[in-house]
Structure 1
Amino acid sequence: MREDFLHYVWQHQYFDKTDLRTADGEDIQVLRPGHRNADAGPDFLNARLRLGEVEWNGAVEIHLRSSDWARHSHQTDQKYDQVILHVVGSHDADVARTNGSLIPALALQPRLLPELLARYQALVEAPVVAPLPCAPLLNLVPEITKTMMTERALLERVEAKADVIMTLHQHLGQDWEATAYHALMAAFGFQKNGEPLARLAKAVPLAVLRRHRHDQRQLEALLFGQAGFLADNEETVADEYIQDLKQEHEFLRHKYGLGPAALLVHEWNYLRLRPANFPPVRLGQLAGLLHARPALFDALLTAQSVAALTEFFQAPAPAYWRTHFRPGRPGKVPSLGKSSIDLLITNVVVPLRVAYARHVGQPALVESSVALLSELPAEHNQFTDVYEALAFAHRTAADSQGLLSLHKSYCAPAAACTAPSVAACCSNPASPGESSTGHFT
């Protein structure tokens, strides 16, 4: 048995739930198994369970044996303090969080059907026939059909992202400037750290930042202090710049009643990130942007070209964060790269403008905003590469976004794309009134 098999079993809940109990005999009810985590930390996040009479929200960690917890040194890693259930093949040891509290365990091996493992192993070892189930029949689809479906998928993806912006806009009291601020903060995380940066935006209200936008040092103190990056350690205790920011943060947080740091250092993700993408680097670039561009929304709304938007995002970071990858750790840091700026335009600027255009009834602004994607170069990733290899047009970011939507909304779901039915992927599988869901990438 392999650990990824247990991931599969837990994700799809393919095990006997009769009289489900922990190793200590406590009743378990799985309300939500959580979603897979591809970064450092527990295997499944945002799980919801009922243990006995208490409902828990947190993470689930999976191992072949309970003792693997200690072998992987999770008992000293604060990222694993959020684990509420340890799902294992076999239970051979009690495990605890960094504070010593025990974590309930669920042993799955006695609850698995033998034929399930055999079927899973056969699927894993089966040769890959085609990158997509419908690939062998794509030559039957006219080019105009593929082009029209990709364009439709692009518009659905942009509309879905605009819907996310509109929901944010409603939650922020219909304040477009605050909406732009929150959207940019989350997007600067570039997937790996989007969630912590979104939380930071809530912890440092725009109304507070507006009062200090002309003082870059105070902006840094607010952002880095609430992000938890000013905590003393062996690298920062002798760093005069960090100590000065820490003192300023203490003054400002008491002044505005912000409380202590909203995040802890271990809540930021560094796994598989280049130093240029480290969270403190991105936060330094945000501080420079907020200082140099006091009217975010107006600038993003009125920019007439990709060149103008690129210039907007090239605001220099504070000097310290151009020479430090982390607090107290020197190094030459490059400025925000063109590819990162292109992603910000794709995932923030275009949806923000489309959401505003829909809100005020300006269809021409929708068209001009979507047209910006045709000025950006194509993205290349594991999904778009598949379609490019199958001769789909892939010249600009508009093509990339359409192909991503085509894959995630139509071709990826198991029931949406089968070899006998090319139309499921490349025709008109949904009625005109239906729309797909979209996520920032």
Structure 2
Amino acid sequence: MKEDFLHYIWKFKKFDSLNLKTVQGELITILKTGDYLELAGPDFFNAHIEIGSQKWAGNVEIHLKSSDWYLHNHEKDPAYKNVILHVVWENDTAIFRENNIEIPVLVLKDYVSKEIIENYKSLVSAKTWIFCEKQLKNIDRFVFKNWQERLFFERLERKSKFIAQLLEETNQDWEAVLFCLLAKNFGLNTNGNSFLQISMAIPFSVIRKESFEIENLEALLFGAAGLLEVEKEDVYFKDLKFRYFYLLHKYQIEKTYTEPLQFFKLRPDNFPTIRLSQLAALYHKYQNLFSKIIDLKSVDAVYRLLSVSASSYWQNHYQFDKESPKKSKTLSKSFIDLLIINTIVPLQFTYSNIMGESISEDLIDFMNEVTSEKNVIMDKFNSFGIKSKTAFESQTLLELKNKYCEHKACLKCAIGLELLKNN
């Protein structure tokens, strides 16, 4: 038994509410269960309850055992002074207010049917991957689709917090925010944090001024990445190194050190050298990139906009001093899809919210044009009969698995609630 199950029972009144009594023997009439805000303090705020002949307005606290009140030190917290009813599964000790009056207690297990308890146990019994894997494909399509939309925007809301943080750090410069976001996502999971540090180490005003010479952009990015620290015979390497230290002096940029870049286990096309050159090429090709990205309305337009390639040196190199067979290093469709998912759509969402505009449906349509991500989580859901064809669907399934299933939050999940209702 978990406390969130008791929250569910109380919130949805899944108990016999006609003959409720406190352990002290007084009749209880629930006029309003209260607001479940999941904030610090009591579990339910502003409940309206009649105990005996007295009507009360206040808060309700819920515990598995009444002694948890003292275990959680509620007696020392002023936020709990206005608790009008203590709802517990087991009453193992009396709880008193400061004036030595006992807080009324309702023992919930006396009023909950065995069927509801069995349904709950069935839902959260141990499975191989997620609790509801055998029942998931039978969920009502309307419930599932509505929940997917909720999950999609929960995921965007979380991503938008990071963007808001970048806005603060860049003094509300949207172009600088975009540069940081793109840098982070060009680095993918392996080098994302390092690429973000690189983008933060170079004032974006310098990127703007030097964008007309791709060699200067590469010098700044490779230099900030620590890739120009050694000595090499390569002529292009020497040129970039000279440019880097010249630009540091010109703009009085303090040299910083970022996390070391990783090459190990990466496919050569994902080497940080290639991705940094492609990022430089993008900012060499476009000024005012932010306005162009905000105005994008279709996936095809994104593909056209982001059709850039690493500079000529990198067409036959993956690392300095090591020549390789010539190969075009243009951004692939699958890589641009990741930029749409992790940069463009979150940025459009955050910007529209700040501007007071609603583009929710447009973003869903946008993501439904993008091919689903391919990973082990999608493979697992597919094995349960839940197929992901678009990025909208894959993003919602990632949110479901990582933020609900992994935390066993079935009673906060529309799918879990639906199963509990129907079992």
TM-score normalised by the shorter chain: which range applies? Answer: 0.5 to 0.7
Return 273-282 or 145-154, whichever deviates more. Answer: 145-154
C-alpha distance in 2 between matches for 1:182 and 1:249: 20
Give the Cα separation in 1 of the matches to 2:385 and 2:248: 56
Give the number of aligned pairs: 291
Show structure 2 runs of 5+ residues with no match: 1-125, 419-423
State the Cα distance separating 1:231 from its structure 2 match: 2.6
8 Å Cα contact 1:215-1:291 kept in structure 2: yes
**Which structure would you say has the larger RCO, counting Cα contacts within 8 Å and 6 or more residues apart?**
1
Contact 1:358 1:366 in 2 (8 A): no
Q: How does 1:23-422 map to 2 (within 5 A)?
A: 130-138=128-136, 141-233=139-231, 237-260=232-255, 262-263=257-258, 267-331=260-324, 332-333=326-327, 334-363=329-358, 365-413=359-407, 415-417=408-410
Secondary structure at 1:372's aligned position in 2? helix
Alpha-carbon distance in 2 for matches of 1:370, 1:161: 16
- Structure 2 distance, partners of 1:249, 1:131, is 50
1:334-371 per-position Cα deviation (integer Å, ceiling 9, x unaligned): 322111100000100000001000001110x3432332
CA displacement, residues 220-270 of structure 1 (integer Å, 9 cap, x when unaligned) = 11111121112334xxx2111110111111111111122346337xx1112
- What is the SS of the residue equivalent to 2:134? helix
* Contact in 1 for aligned 2:132/2:416 (Cα 8 Å): no
Report SS of the residue matched to 2:318: strand
Contact 1:270/1:279 (CA < 8 Å) preserved in 2?
Answer: yes
Compare 223-232 and 399-408 and name the one that shifted more. Answer: 223-232
- Seen in structure 2, the aligned counterparts of structure 1 residues 310 and 188 have a Cα distance that, compared at 3 Å, is same
Check whether the contact 1:225–1:261 (CA below 8 A) recurs between aligned residues.
no
Secondary structure, aligned partner of 1:156: helix
Letter in 1 for 2:394: S
What is the deviation of 1:216? 1.3
Structure 2 CA distance, aligned partners of 1:163 and 1:372?
21
The question of whether the paired residues in 2 share the 8 Å contact of 1:212 and 1:219 is answered with yes
8 Å Cα contact 1:154/1:401 also seen in 2? yes
203-212 vs 389-398, greater mean Cα deviation: 389-398
The one-letter amino acid paired with 2:375 is: N
Larger Rg: 2
Deviation per CA, 1:397-432: give whole Å up to 9, x if none: 10000111111111111x324xxx7x8571459xxx
User: Retained in 2: the 8 A contact 1:411–1:425?
Assistant: no
* TM-score (normalizing by structure 1): 0.62
Counterpart amino acid of residue 377 in structure 1: T
Question: How big is the shift at 1:151?
Answer: 2.3
Structure 1: how far apart are the matches of 2:167 and 2:159?
12
Give 3-state SS (helix, strand or coil) of 1:211's partner: helix
User: What is the aligned-residue RMSD (CA, Å)?
Assistant: 2.0
In the alignment, is the contact (CA less than 8 A) between 2:184 and 2:196 conserved in 1? Answer: yes
Distance 1:143 1:368, change over 3 A: closer
Further displaced range: 344-353 or 156-165: 156-165
The DSSP-based 3-state class of the residue aligned with 2:210 is coil
The CA distance in 1 between the partners of 2:191 and 2:276, in whole Å, is: 11
**CA displacement at 1:162 relative to structure 2:** 1.9
Residue equivalent to 1:107:
none
Whether the aligned pair in 1 keeps the contact of 2:143 and 2:414 (CA below 8 Å) is no
Q: Distance in 2 between matches of 1:184 and 1:204?
A: 14
For the 8 Å contact 1:322–1:335, the answer to whether it is kept is: no
Conserved? CA contact 2:137–2:384, under 8 Å = no
Match of 1:291, SS?
Answer: helix
**C-alpha contact 1:203 1:226 (8 A) present in aligned 2:** yes
The answer to whether the Cα contact below 8 Å between 2:345 and 2:363 also exists between their aligned partners in 1 is yes
Tell me: CA distance 1:162–1:226, structure 2 relative to 1, closer, same or farther (3 Å): same
Deviation at residue 271 of structure 1 after TM alignment: 2.4
Quick one: distance in 2 between partners of 1:356 and 1:427? 33
What is the Cα deviation at residue 392 of structure 1? 1.7
Tell me the residue number matched to 2:415.
426
Once the 2 structures are TM-superposed, how far is the Cα of residue 205 of structure 1 from its aligned partner?
A: 1.2
Q: Is the 8 A contact 1:284 1:318 kept in 2?
A: yes
Aligned partner letter, 1:290:
Y
User: What's the TM-score once normalised by structure 2's chain length?
Assistant: 0.65
Aligned 8 A contact 1:227 1:263 in 2 = yes
Label 1:400 to 1:222 Cα distance change in 2 as closer, same or farther (>3 A): same
